[in-house]
Amino acid sequence: MRVNADFTQRVAVHFDQNEWVASPAAGVERKMLDRIGEEVARATTIVRFAPGSAFAAHTHDGGEEYLVLDGVFQDETGDFPVGSYVRNPPTSSHTPSAKEGATILVKLHQFDPDDRIEVRRSINGAGNVQLFKDAQEEVRVISLAPGEVLDLDAAQGLELFVIEGGLQESGEEFSPWDWLRLPPGSQSSATAGASGARIWVKIGHLSQML
């Protein structure tokens, strides 16, 4: 399966225009943002867990990072409420579930194979926060005031996900849970809407896909 797999192109996916697709696990649905592969895939996805749903135990050979958007996500290591950011490095394993239901933004199979860094952070109550940085990539949450302009330097690629509020980029409006990917070598800017914006941004990680 290939979804938005041409990394030389700008891609925008709007939450309300993207259909939920059933996963192999009962009660778990997905909105695919990009994907290369079948069930084991390099993928960026919004995943919704119905109350009481779970995935079978599995190992993340290529690593996993996620941001909890709604509800409480759970595994053997604890409960992760809205605003939790987690990086599970390659070779990590767990049995994810959501007793009361949850929605997450998740990226799979996109880590350096030698990465063994775990991250457990909350973005709640913080303005701008750096969630992770190494030689290959940086992950941040940025809060923008109404009308504020943010330069988007995508020299090595950039992904942007709207958590709250809204913004405009290249004449296109983005609302909560919309996603944008800019290809390596590009440059753009985003302007926050009337209520400002809070966004998750990942940079420096896409040049390897070209």
Summarised one tens digit per residue, pLDDT across range 52-95 is 999 888 787 888 999 999 999 999 889 999 999 999 988 888 89
Contact yes or no for 149/188 (Cβ under 8 A): no
For residue range 150-209, list pLDDT tens digits in order.
999 999 999 999 999 999 999 999 999 999 999 999 999 999 999 999 999 999 888 776
Taking the C-alpha atoms of residue 34 and residue 11, their distance in angstroms, rounded to an integer, is: 9
Taking the C-alpha atoms of residue 181 and residue 23, their distance in angstroms, rounded to an integer, is: 24
pLDDT of residue 210 exceeding 70 = no
CATH 2.60.120.10 domain range(s) in the chain: 2-7+18-122, 129-209
Taking the C-alpha atoms of residue 64 and residue 107, their distance in angstroms, rounded to an integer, is: 6
CATH hierarchy code of domain 2-7+18-122: 2.60.120.10
Tokens representing 64? 């996993």
CATH hierarchy code of domain 129-209: 2.60.120.10
Sign of the torsion angle spanned by Cα atoms 103, 106, 108, 112: negative
pLDDT classification of 47: cutoffs 50, 70, 90 = very high
Instruction: Give me the residue label for tokens 């007793």.
Output: 99
Report field, pTM of the whole predicted structure over 0.85: yes
